[in-house]
Structure 1
């Protein structure tokens, strides 16, 4: 008795708990696609391989289980690379599997022959060619184990065409999954960390992506309340500490010196919980490199002159926080100096959002769009904010109350992920409302996936912030040079565009139309694209205001 290597691979994927494979078939992987058709795994046919990688990435980010994107060899595989790199830099588990030329022509110049293993090597945790059909169980298990082990990231496997369709013994079985359990920090580490925190005069917590991945909210809140230490989050950490908690300082990461940056300027100790350096330059949170650092994460910190770690607690983030809280003593503490001044940091942000929530101008102010987006979504619903000016406004102002409910790319900061990523997010969290918020530049980078959503019957709501240009680049050019160039373009009729795919298009012509349009689109089982004109003159007004900002903590 025998099966094909393609069938063996699919059995291995089923054993790993894979529910979806996102991709486009090619001549060289048709046996894998057919084996998927005969399995419990749903193959989601997309319109561009880049979109497949973003769908897999966002599914993996929400589930912490590696999703799979698939492509043929050569150009198909190369098209996967952007989302694969995004997954690795955003610490998200993903397994990319592509075809490769057969072994009978791999040693010579050949049609569509590209060294894919070398191409994927710098953007993955592991990149390998399957050398023989019998290696599939071991290599598949290693791929998922590597992708899902901290820090998570992407893995790449290339399967030669002749191996994919080869026969193998039916006795070959998928390997048993061994669950990796995080260690606990040592008693000595916890004791030294507690000593640093006790000695601190102006401590602050920075919660990052690692804390969000582990969903360490309960332990983080307990630590803050027991110590009176306020908490700021990175863009990727948004929501892991609720923004409406009295000890919340909001989000740090905006390109200008914002209110929350003053808290870091004043801090003498930073308890970094799940923070990873690619999220935000440590120089921005420790400009003089003089703050003491307590690094709470599953692994050791990257080396940086502005991130000198005094004590590292390595192991489960939630468990490390619980142990540190216990070592410091229980009970609700009095607010520390920075916590007592928290209102001076968060109050102006709330006031800015509230003031613009009733701003009726058209085009709409970015703040009005953020306010209506927040009003349309529940606390546990999810918004994906694409890279561009929309990302800056959403990261800075959008109140977030649960981990992984405001998803941004801040490792690679790539454009075009939100629309396809929303499809992966909806499959991962079918009970949540999912919104893709994107600029018009990013929208057209993967707008073809509207057809995928319609055909696959995946509910999708897209909010397109329209300004007929690359707004963030224009913003930065104006800041640096006082002028801008090569940033303006034309747009299609978004309403007609959405309808041409079988979706619904909505154009906002009055400010009071946006919230009901969002509510209706999010409640729909179909595809809705909402175009809202945005007044980005607010961009320079904001950075001018922040540039002249005096320290609110001394005011």
Structure 2
């Protein structure tokens, strides 16, 4: 008879998770090295007790699973995502929350993780499986079924979802969960719902369940016939453009990308997730492509005869809402580990790991080289954009400065091992066009879900994953006010992160967008309501961000100019603790010159002249959209 041990479901779960490892290219690491959690009546006696026992009285064979306390459930999922991205998706964190609002607070984080294809393990508490105490506090009662709980909201935003209603179900659920977490083509948020009574239920578990397991992360190679088809298309190209997405970085394929570019002369544009796959200073790096791309990349995209997408999902910002790749007869070759993405735009599909696929394509292309006139054009366009970039980021010396001037200074201040973190607002657009990333992992933009509040929690995850170098989170005042509580987590854990808060008194990004669609920046600034008009158009509402940050136990200071910001940044780098630097920026200052558009529908009928004019422009944009069939 197989040897067993008697543990609760939660205790068995913790012991199992601590014994899981991932491996790729001979490098083995703990898959789930720590857990974040907030406890309540749904999980305090289950997972809370199990984590405490793991930390204080573990079994001799049990590995530690360190526990971190977060302030917000959504934030701890963002922290796990930041950590997993910094670890190239080979490691992630566990997140547990109590029944009800604690668990549903994680739904936004789950959506972000699944959309961005980042592994996270979520363990939301659930109802009583026995139903003996229902309806329990915070229970959603569905008259159609007693099986439904609020945790069913995780189903559409999870890469894998399960509910463990019996102890006997736990082993199969865990094995499926880890399978998905370590599958680079299928990963995302993995949600295991844990009824609160089941968490505390004892069961006799086979010791075999808790043995150390190593999950090998696959590197699929291209099918020979598919590789031949892709080679034929690329080999005939006169004006090819490679679009590097996040898959290049997650697969560690930067060396293979660089070699293909240098051997063939094919220029490389990047998405938000792919920036840094080819360093910004490389002569074949033409910068971001699409709605917020560089003029160099977008000009090349507009006339490309073959677009080679590597590890990209082709979001609407990358394709400028299907207007970026405008050449008649343009063809796509998509190298992606997921066939779903490889098939987009009627592409010649190359389903494989990015590193393996790039290496194979370089070999089969042989002596292929882009025509010399195209090489000169790429260099000329890149040089012209670099001149524009220098002029834009230099600024005018005005006070308050333009946002782009702040970015120019920070780009100079951050070193080769430092990480920039951002997610939402007008900043990602400016950064994609202007930021020169020195290499993979240094530019950390969450733009699949573009979730306000991501930056500070993600910085915690990146800091845990990368002990050296500076971690710099740039946030607007709107984003800051959504998730400042994690500053207390930084202080509690003694983690050093530099947070730069740009104060523009509202939502600058949506303000500019509102103006472009004829809505006159309505409802986008933090102003008091005027009694005469009833509109939010009075004086600015002041928030003391320095005092707020200090109240969480973090050092903070206000600066007025970019020169002062440079000095304050030097002090923050020299410090051993977290710092918040606050600077006001001009909400109406120009950003980098736009070279492409984005589809945001405009009201077809309106009494406002501004809306009528915007709709006329929108019709012109729509005429340029196309399906690649």
TM over 0.5: yes
How do 1:94-493 and structure 2 match up within 5 A?
94-105=120-131, 109-114=135-140, 115-151=149-185, 152-172=187-207, 173-174=209-210, 176-255=213-292, 258-278=295-315, 280=317, 282=319, 283-287=322-326, 290-302=329-341, 307-309=345-347, 311-329=348-366, 333=369, 337-355=373-391, 356-357=393-394, 359-481=396-518, 483-489=520-526, 490-493=541-544
**Could you tell me whether the CA contact under 8 Å between 1:386 and 1:442 is conserved in 2?**
no
Q: 1:300 to 1:121 in 2, by over 3 A?
A: same
**Could you tell me whether the CA contact under 8 Å between 1:210 and 1:276 is conserved in 2?**
no
> Which deviates the most, 110-119 or 510-519?
110-119
Give per-residue Cα distances to partners, 1:195-219, cap 9 Å, x unaligned: 1111111111011111121121100
Q: 1:544 to 1:494 in 2, by over 3 A?
A: same
Q: 1:6 to 1:546 in 2, by over 3 A?
A: closer
Tell me the TM-score normalized by structure 1. 0.92
Give per-residue Cα distances to partners, 1:440-465, cap 9 Å, x unaligned: 10011100111111012111210011
> Which deviates the most, 131-140 or 3-12?
131-140
Cα RMSD after superposing both structures: 2.5
Structure 2 residue runs without a partner (length 5+):
21-29, 56-63, 141-148, 527-540, 599-616, 618-629
**Could you tell me whether the CA contact under 8 Å between 1:257 and 1:546 is conserved in 2?**
no
Find the aligned partners of 1:351 and 1:372 in 2 and give their Cα distance. Answer: 16
Offset at residue 399 of structure 1 (A): 0.4
Find the aligned partners of 2:447 and 2:111 in 1 and give their Cα distance. Answer: 12
Q: 1:204 to 1:475 in 2, by over 3 A?
A: same
Number of matched pairs: 545
User: Match of 2:567?
Assistant: 516
Structure 1 residue runs without a partner (length 5+):
549-555
What is the DSSP-based 3-state SS (H/G/I as helix, E as strand, rest coil) of the residue aligned with 1:507? Answer: strand
Offset at residue 484 of structure 1 (A): 1.4
What is the DSSP-based 3-state SS (H/G/I as helix, E as strand, rest coil) of the residue aligned with 1:403? Answer: coil
**Could you tell me whether the CA contact under 8 Å between 1:503 and 1:527 is conserved in 2?**
yes
Q: 1:469 to 1:216 in 2, by over 3 A?
A: same
What is the DSSP-based 3-state SS (H/G/I as helix, E as strand, rest coil) of the residue aligned with 1:156? Answer: strand
**Could you tell me whether the CA contact under 8 Å between 2:561 and 2:583 is conserved in 1?**
no
Find the aligned partners of 2:158 and 2:354 in 1 and give their Cα distance. Answer: 24
**Could you tell me whether the CA contact under 8 Å between 1:102 and 1:163 is conserved in 2?**
yes
Find the aligned partners of 2:94 and 2:170 in 1 and give their Cα distance. Answer: 15
1:2 paired with 2:6, answer yes
> Which deviates the most, 176-185 or 466-475?
176-185
Q: 1:491 to 1:544 in 2, by over 3 A?
A: farther
Find the aligned partners of 1:182 and 1:315 in 2 and give their Cα distance. Answer: 7
Q: Hey, which of these two has a bigger chunk of helix by percent?
A: 1
Q: 1:36 to 1:523 in 2, by over 3 A?
A: farther
Offset at residue 42 of structure 1 (A): 2.0
Find the aligned partners of 2:316 and 2:116 in 1 and give their Cα distance. Answer: 8
Offset at residue 430 of structure 1 (A): 1.2
> Which deviates the most, 51-60 or 125-134?
125-134
- Of 22, 25, 49, 1:34 maps to 49
**Could you tell me whether the CA contact under 8 Å between 2:308 and 2:334 is conserved in 1?**
yes
**Could you tell me whether the CA contact under 8 Å between 1:362 and 1:509 is conserved in 2?**
yes
User: Match of 1:551?
Assistant: none
Q: 1:288 to 1:109 in 2, by over 3 A?
A: farther
Tell me the TM-score normalized by structure 2. 0.82
Give per-residue Cα distances to partners, 1:238-258, cap 9 Å, x unaligned: 000111111111111334884
> Which deviates the most, 24-33 or 51-60?
24-33
How do 1:516-535 and structure 2 match up within 5 A?
516-535=567-586
Q: 1:479 to 1:315 in 2, by over 3 A?
A: same
